Amino acid sequence: MMTAPKARLPVLHPVPGFRLGTACAGIKSADRPDLVVMELASGSVCSAVFTRNAFCAAPVSVAREHVKNTSPEYLLVNTGNANAGTGDEGVRDALQCCSELAELAGCSAAAVVPFSTGVIGEPLPVDRIRSALPAAMEDLAEDGWAAAATGILTTDTRPKGASRQIEIDGQVVTVTGIAKGAGMIRPDMATMLAFIATDARVDANSLQACLSMVVGKSFNRITVDGDTSTNDACVLVATGKCTLSEVSTGDAYYRIFSDAVTEVCVELAQAIVRDGEGATRFVTVSVEGGLDTDECLLVAYTVAHSPLVKTALFAGDPNWGRILAAVGRAGIEDLGLQDVEIYLDDVCIVRDGGRASDYTEAAGQQVMEQPELTIRVVLGRGDYSEQVWTCDLSYDYVRINAEYRT
């Protein structure tokens, strides 16, 4: 087994029927793992969601077709090169990588699903990937999660993983996942890249329904910088190796199973925000009292995306006027200003259309200096509530992205 570097990872329980292997292909640098192969046991069910960015990467186009038309047997992930903005050549390169792995594994090329992340607009180094594939295959093991969590990183400062074991009808069911992402994060389906596996037996329609529901509560509730990547993808695999009877929407076990998948994905999604490029603060933006979900999310994302709010967070400056302005420009029709309340944790900063009468700068400062805090907006219009997770905007975010290709 390839040894993963020391990292703050929780225990990642192996998933029977799902093996991972990691290797160094030297795509961007010669001394780091950057190629991961994941093997799905025969009979596994695979569901996926992908970016809605119109300039989706070549591997996304190929992956969509392979997941739709075949029963995937292998997932192939490379970092250091996104193979995006590469036109027809990029598609050919992605297909070539699938063919190379298929030849080694003894399966059809259509049974290999490719994923890439890294620099946009540069040709995929197929030869380097080809050369590293045998090492990744040799490394395949059910306990390869930690090494793979490192192998899929780009600008991340730490690997991200989460795992749960639950009991259903006397059977232990495992759900384990890894993700990568730190910048270009405002997913419109999932995260930069996320891979979750379970040994539960789940029919294809129920697994896809579960994944679509879960990403709506996790990966689609995070933002670092408001950018949606060309390469975003999230995969959920059910190997069916647990002896539990098949899980299906509407049965007694589905809720327990989907709750476990949700917990894993929320933990992964929040880990991405905590590792946001240059981030120093983890912020929950909670909007309550909206007329519907869309209204709540509109306000939440307007606050979370505001550069003025995010830079104030970095400074630990309780400049509450920036939050007030963001709520006001969110585009909510007929917003009753007298009904709106805004809080920093439990400190009310806005009430009755202006600064709360009992607010003090010292109280606001104390909250803003915390590494984790909540901006809570009460609209006073209805019964809906939603929340998103974001971070501050620091000097390091600019430095990391200014130097990304150097």
Contacts of 365 (CB under 8 A, 6+ apart): 316, 317, 318
Catalytic pick from 79, 191, 262, 302? 191
Burial class of residue 167, CB neighbours in 10 A (0-12, 13-18, 19+): exposed
Tell me how far apart the alpha carbons of residues 150 and 141 are, in angstroms, rounded to a whole number.
Answer: 15
Contacts of 26 (CB under 8 A, 6+ apart): 34, 128, 132
Helices 320-328 and 293-305 cross at an angle (nearest 10°) of: 140
CB 35 within 8 A of CB 126: no
Maximum Cα–Cα distance for the chain, whole Å?
A: 71
Tell me how far apart the alpha carbons of residues 48 and 68 are, in angstroms, rounded to a whole number.
Answer: 9
330: which DSSP letter? S
Backbone angles phi, psi at 387, to 5 degrees: -145, 150
Query: What is the rounded end-to-end Cα distance, in angstroms, of the chain?
Result: 32
Helices 307-315 and 320-328 cross at an angle (nearest 10°) of: 160
Tell me how far apart the alpha carbons of residues 381 and 241 are, in angstroms, rounded to a whole number.
Answer: 48
Tell me how far apart the alpha carbons of residues 28 and 250 are, in angstroms, rounded to a whole number.
Answer: 47
Looking from the CA of 163 toward its CB, the CA atoms found within 13 Å total 18
The tokens for 132 are 């590293």
191 is catalytic: yes
Q: What is the DSSP string of 3-49?
A: PPPP---------TTEEEEEE---SS-TTS--EEEEEEPTT-EEEEE
- Tally the residues of the chain: 406
Tell me how far apart the alpha carbons of residues 90 and 96 are, in angstroms, rounded to a whole number.
Answer: 10
Q: Using DSSP, state whether 70 is helix, strand or coil.
A: coil
Tell me how far apart the alpha carbons of residues 378 and 296 are, in angstroms, rounded to a whole number.
Answer: 10
The tokens for 281 are 């603060």
What amino acid positions are annotated as catalytic residues?
191
